[in-house]
Structures are given as structure tokens and as C-alpha cells.
């Protein structure tokens, strides 16, 4: 990723920005338009110097000082509307959803996501409608999610054995890695019919996936400042993107070729590791479509949510005990956890809701773009303006949430607010026609692993660590995970 701040101050060409930009500085300002409030900006680079790695936090801070619900930034040559209130989000994602149904044309998306054919970034139109229909009806329907229960149970049993072995060896469990491996394995089994987490192949696969998400969440200077495209080339960023794209292509081509060969030989579905279960690749081949989003969107985001949920529980021992007591009371000695059991775990569900409120996996959602001039909350928004919905800031709005920065799952016990896109105070998965289609799959997986680990083990921090010393810092990326791995010691709970 190009470090913009380093580039700006280290480049001998920085002083030229002021001269290059003089003729363009005021071109987008108009006395005839009532534009949203905006912080002061520099020529050419606009407000880029005010943005750091943790975009959601910087945007929230700028909005508090300069904008409020709506703020107009200029990120290089790209006008960008930042949305930081539920009312503003509702007007954009519901009232005028069609105007903002499109995605911006981002160079990195084109290269990594098959020329924008992936459902979350595809241009709004007939192709997007067809792919969304495939996702909703064939891949992520409630029936399909229920059919994946066997996969989740099998992978959960493997996780439990790993934790027991760690205990036998007197080792702390790296929960961050465990959660990522679990979600990878579940999604791989459901998508490809086999896992890619073991041995040298597994190490390469995990590295490729980590690099994919890191690059996708990176800063592409060429996208915002086209005249400085040479910086991305000289820094090696372009080469890094090409390497990730090539590796992903090779991996997915191998999966499809392997499946076609198996089918030609008369084998069933499931990729050779799924016991004959029909997986997403089988379904997609049947309808002659190819969309890898079922995998790329389902793994890092799910692992991020459960990592933060467990971190919050270890940070708040009383909440941890209350959640465990509920889980064990509902199960009453049962070893297998059914969806009916989980539906009776109201406090556990509240813990996950509160985690999503404080730590939405993609805090600024996927950007949108205005397809025409439009008025939002009395402000003029020009055609071609990018729109960033700061779901993180909206979920911490003190006008809506009491003690917004505190972890208090109780707030959801007698609260009708949900995260499925109908309550705009809480939109970790977006809303409207471009909302995430995989909510049910993601939350079923999160509930399953959280309930199992709280049921089967007692947990504490290693080396007598204190809850107040637990590192809560964030790491930059497409999804915002913990900066340091979450380590904990597990003690099996007698059944």
C-alpha cells in the first residue's frame, strides 16, 4: 500500500502541487449550489492529507468538526460525500436508493474483482440483478444456509479438538488465527467442497487470501490522483496488485478445472472432500455463471466479527459470565447445539449485535456514486460524487445511543433495532438494494462458534493478564481487525 503521508512529505515534487493545482482549485465550487459543508483543502490533493489508515475514525473526527450528518471531501480529484447520521443514510439508502445504486469505477476493483463483475461492486443494471438473484435464490437462501449446518458442526468439532490439545500442552489459544481458519474452512467447504488450510498448500492459500484483503483495502493513488499514477508503479503497488490477481485467477481456475474433470469422470459434487454434498461451484456450473464473491465476502468479515465479540467478552468478565450462564442453561448438558437452541439465547444475540454496533467489519461500507444531481437534506450533491456511509460513526451517535462507546449488550434486550438494513441506526451490512445478501450465513456461523466455545470451555487471558490491559487497537485493511492476535487460555467445562 502506498503510504500517502510519506509520499507527500518525501517527494521533491510536493511543492509543485500548489502550482499544478492553482487553475483547478475552485473549479468545483459554485456560488449557485448549496454544497455540503467541507473542511479546508489543499490544491490537487484536496483533503487527502487529513486521512490516515483508520478511515472510519478520521472521517468521524472530521465530520464532528466540519460537517455533521453530511460532509463533502475532495480526495484528490474525487468529490466524496461522507454520511454520518441515520437520517442522512436513510435518505440515501432508502428514499433515493436508485440514485445511489451504482458503485464507482475503481481501478483496483476492476483488476481484482474481474472487471467489476463481482456482485458487491458490479454496476447497477441487468447483470447485477441476475447475479444478485443467483446469490439470494441459489447460494445464500435460508434453505441453503440450513443445509450447511452439517459442515459447521464438522468444522466446529475440529476446532474443539484443537483447543483441547492446546490445553494439554499448556499453550494459549491464538483465537484470531483459529477464527480465521474456522471461517475459511466452513466457507471453503460450502463453496468449493474442500478445505485449503492444511500443509504447505494451506499456508500459501492463507497468505494469498490475506494479501488479497490487504490490497483490496489499500490506498490506490492512481484512482484518486491519476496524474500521479507513476507513484503506484514505482512503489511496487501495481506489481503487488497484479501478483494477487494472478494468484487468485490461478486458484479459481484450478478449482473449476478440477470440478469439471471430476464431473466428466462421472463423480458427484462436493469437490472430493464434501462427502458428495453439492457446493456453490456445482450450483454455479449448473447455471453457467462464475462468481467468487460467495468466498471472498464470506471469510474475513465473519472472522472479524467473532474476533471482536470474543475480545469484548474477555475485556468484560461479567458479560462473559452472563453469556456463558445463558448458553449452558439453555443447553442443559446437551453437546450438539441446534438453531432452536441459539434462538433462545437472547443475551448471546445481544452480544453479537453490540459487537456489530461497535465494530462493523467494513466500517465505511462499500462506496456508492451519485448517478445524477440530487438534493440530500437540503444540500446539492453533484452527479459523479462518491458516497461513503460511515456505519461506524452512525452506530456511535450520542444522539441515538446512550454511552455510545461502552460495550453494553443489555441495550438490545428490550430494543427493536436490528442489523438487517431496516433500522438505519445500525447498518453494519449496509441497506437497500445493495445491502449484503449474506447476512443470514454470516450470523449463523458467528452464533454457532460463539455458543460452542462458551459452552465447552471457560476462558481467561494468558499469564494472569488483566482485562483492562487487553489490547483493543485496530489494524487497517478492508476489514478492521485487531492489531494484535487475541490469545486466551481454555479450560474444558465438564459436561
The domain limits of the chain are 31-492
Q: Which residue has the higher pLDDT, 464 or 197?
A: 464
Place of cell 453439492: 278
Q: Which residue has the higher pLDDT, 336 or 352?
A: 352
Give yes or no for residue 201 having a pLDDT over 80.
no
The C-alpha atoms of residue 87 and residue 24 are separated, in whole angstroms, by: 33
pLDDT band (50, 70, 90) for residue 7: very low
User: Which of 87-91, 276-280, 445-449 shows the lowest mean pLDDT across its residues?
Assistant: 276-280
Per the CB < 8 A criterion, the answer to whether 271 and 408 are in contact is no
Beta 78-83 vs 386-389: how paired, if at all?
A: parallel
Please provide the average confidence, as pLDDT, over all residues in the chain.
Answer: 86
Give yes or no for residue 29 having a pLDDT over 50.
no
Helix axis angle, 199-216 relative to 237-264, nearest 10°? Answer: 130
User: Which of 3-17, 221-235, 252-266, 353-367 shows the lowest mean pLDDT across its residues?
Assistant: 3-17
CA angle at 375 for the pair 371 and 378, rounded to the nearest 5° = 160
Map residue 437 onto helix, strand or coil.
Answer: coil
Map residue 481 onto helix, strand or coil.
Answer: strand
Q: Which three cell numbers stand for residue 215?
A: 490490497
Q: Mark the binding-site residues, compressed into ranges.
A: 436
Region for 116 from its dihedrals, namely left if φ exceeds 0, alpha if ψ lies in -120 to 50, beta otherwise: left
Q: Which residue has the higher pLDDT, 143 or 77?
A: 77
DSSP calls for 225-247:
-GGGHHHHHHHTHHHHHHHHHHH
pTM: 0.86
User: Which of 287-291, 303-307, 465-469 shows the lowest mean pLDDT across its residues?
Assistant: 287-291
Map residue 355 onto helix, strand or coil.
Answer: helix
Q: In what order do the strands lie in the sheet with 457-460?
A: 173-174, 487-492, 457-460
Place of cell 483492562: 468
CATH number of 31-492: 1.10.630.10
Average pLDDT over residues 442-446: 93
Instruction: Provide the 10 A C-beta neighbour count for residue 448.
Output: 22
Place of cell 491519476: 226
Average pLDDT over residues 306-321: 98
Q: Which residue has the higher pLDDT, 13 or 141?
A: 141
Per the CB < 8 A criterion, the answer to whether 345 and 327 are in contact is yes
The C-alpha atoms of residue 88 and residue 84 are separated, in whole angstroms, by: 7
- At 87-125, the pLDDT tens digits run 999 999 999 999 999 999 998 888 888 888 888 999 999
Q: Mark the binding-site residues for heme, compressed into ranges.
A: 436
pLDDT band (50, 70, 90) for residue 484: very high
Per the CB < 8 A criterion, the answer to whether 442 and 470 are in contact is no
The C-alpha atoms of residue 427 and residue 52 are separated, in whole angstroms, by: 23
Q: Which segment, 18-27, 218-227, 429-438, is predicted with the most confidence on average?
A: 429-438
Give yes or no for residue 8 having a pLDDT over 60.
no
Q: Which residue has the higher pLDDT, 46 or 477?
A: 46
**% of the chain beyond a pLDDT of 70:** 88
Average pLDDT over residues 465-488: 94
DSSP-derived secondary structure letter, 13:
T
Question: For residue 174, what are the CA distances in angstroms to 163, 210, 319, 490?
Answer: 9, 17, 21, 11
Nearest C-alpha neighbor of 296 from the set 211, 385, 387? 211
pLDDT band (50, 70, 90) for residue 3: very low
Average pLDDT over residues 44-71: 94
Per the CB < 8 A criterion, the answer to whether 307 and 178 are in contact is no
**% of the chain beyond a pLDDT of 90:** 56
- At 155-178, the pLDDT tens digits run 999 999 999 999 888 899 999 999
Average pLDDT over residues 228-247: 85
User: Which of 5-9, 105-109, 490-494 shows the lowest mean pLDDT across its residues?
Assistant: 5-9
The C-alpha atoms of residue 240 and residue 127 are separated, in whole angstroms, by: 29
pLDDT band (50, 70, 90) for residue 270: low
Q: Taking the CA of residue 84 as centre, how many other CA atoms within 13 Å lie in the half-sphere pointing to its CB?
A: 28
Per the CB < 8 A criterion, the answer to whether 447 and 185 are in contact is no
Amino acid at each position: 500500500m502506498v503510504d500517502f503521508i510519506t509520499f507527500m512529505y518525501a517527494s521533491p515534487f510536493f511543492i509543485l502541487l500548489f502550482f499544478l493545482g492553482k487553475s483547478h482549485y475552485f473549479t468545483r465550487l459554485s456560488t449557485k449550489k448549496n454544497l455540503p459543508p467541507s473542511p479546508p483543502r489543499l490544491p490537487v490533493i484536496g483533503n487527502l492529507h487529513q486521512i490516515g489508515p483508520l478511515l472510519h475514525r478520521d472521517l468521524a473526527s472530521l465530520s464532528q468538526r466540519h460537517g455533521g450528518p453530511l460532509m463533502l471531501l475532495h480526495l484528490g480529484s474525487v468529490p466524496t460525500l461522507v454520511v454520518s447520521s441515520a437520517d442522512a443514510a436513510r435518505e440515501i439508502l432508502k428514499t433515493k436508493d436508485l440514485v445511489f445504486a451504482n458503485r464507482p469505477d475503481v481501478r483496483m476493483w476492476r483488476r481484482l474483482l474481474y472487471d467489476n463483475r463481482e456482485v458487491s461492486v458490479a454496476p447497477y443494471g441487468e447483470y447485477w440483478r441476475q447475479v444478485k438473484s443467483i446469490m439470494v435464490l441459489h447460494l445464500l437462501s435460508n434453505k441453503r444456509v440450513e443445509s450447511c449446518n452439517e459442515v459447521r458442526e464438522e468444522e466446529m468439532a475440529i476446532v474443539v479438538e484443537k483447543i483441547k490439545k492446546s490445553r494439554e500442552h499448556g499453550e494459549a489459544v491464538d483465537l484470531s488465527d483459529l477464527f480465521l481458519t474456522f471461517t475459511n474452512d466452513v466457507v471453503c467447504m460450502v463453496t468449493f467442497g474442500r478445505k485449503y488450510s492444511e500443509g504447505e498448500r494451506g499456508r500459501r492459500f492463507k497468505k494469498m487470501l490475506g494479501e488479497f484483503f490487504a490490497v483490496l483495502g489499500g490506498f490506490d493513488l492512481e484512482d484518486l490522483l491519476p496524474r500521479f499514477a507513476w507513484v503506484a508503479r514505482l512503489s511496487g503497488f501495481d506489481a503487488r496488485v497484479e501478483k494477487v490477481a494472478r494468484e487468485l485467477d490461478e486458484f479459481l481456475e484450478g478449482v473449476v478445472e478440477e470440478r469439471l474433470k471430476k464431473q466428466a469422470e462421472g463423480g458427484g459434487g462436493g469437490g472430493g472432500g464434501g462427502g458428495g454434498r453439492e457446493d456453490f461451484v456445482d450450483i454455479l456450473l449448473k447455471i453457467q455463471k462464475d462468481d467468487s464473491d460467495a468466498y471472498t465476502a464470506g471469510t474475513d468479515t465473519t472472522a472479524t466479527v467473532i474476533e471482536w465479540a470474543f475480545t469484548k467478552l474477555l475485556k468484560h468478565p461479567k458479560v462473559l459470565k452472563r453469556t456463558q450462564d445463558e448458553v449452558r442453561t439453555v443447553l442443559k448438558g446437551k453437546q450438539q447445539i441446534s438453531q432452536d437452541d441459539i434462538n433462545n439465547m437472547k443475551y448471546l444475540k445481544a452480544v453479537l449485535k453490540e459487537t456489530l454496533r461497535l465494530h462493523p467489519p467494513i466500517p465505511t461500507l462499500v462506496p456508492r456514486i451519485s448517478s445524477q444531481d440530487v438534493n440530500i437534506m437540503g444540500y446539492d450533491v453533484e452527479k459523479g460524487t462518491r458516497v461513503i456511509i460511515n456505519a461506524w460513526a452512525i452506530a456511535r451517535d450520542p444522539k441515538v445511543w446512550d454511552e455510545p462507546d461502552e460495550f453494553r449488550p443489555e441495550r438490545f434486550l428490550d430494543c427493536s433495532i436490528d442489523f438487517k438494513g431496516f433500522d438505519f441506526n445500525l447498518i453494519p451490512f449496509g441497506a437497500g438494494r445493495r445491502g449484503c445478501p449474506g447476512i443470514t450465513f454470516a450470523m449463523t456461523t458467528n452464533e454457532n462458534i460463539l455458543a460452542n466455545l462458551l459452552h465447552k470451555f471457560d476462558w481467561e487471558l494468558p499469564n494472569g493478564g488483566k482485562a483492562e490491559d487487553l489490547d483493543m487497537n485496530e489494524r487497517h485493511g478492508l476489514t478492521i481487525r485487531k492489531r494484535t492476535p487475541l490469545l486466551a487460555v481454555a479450560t474444558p467445562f465438564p459436561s
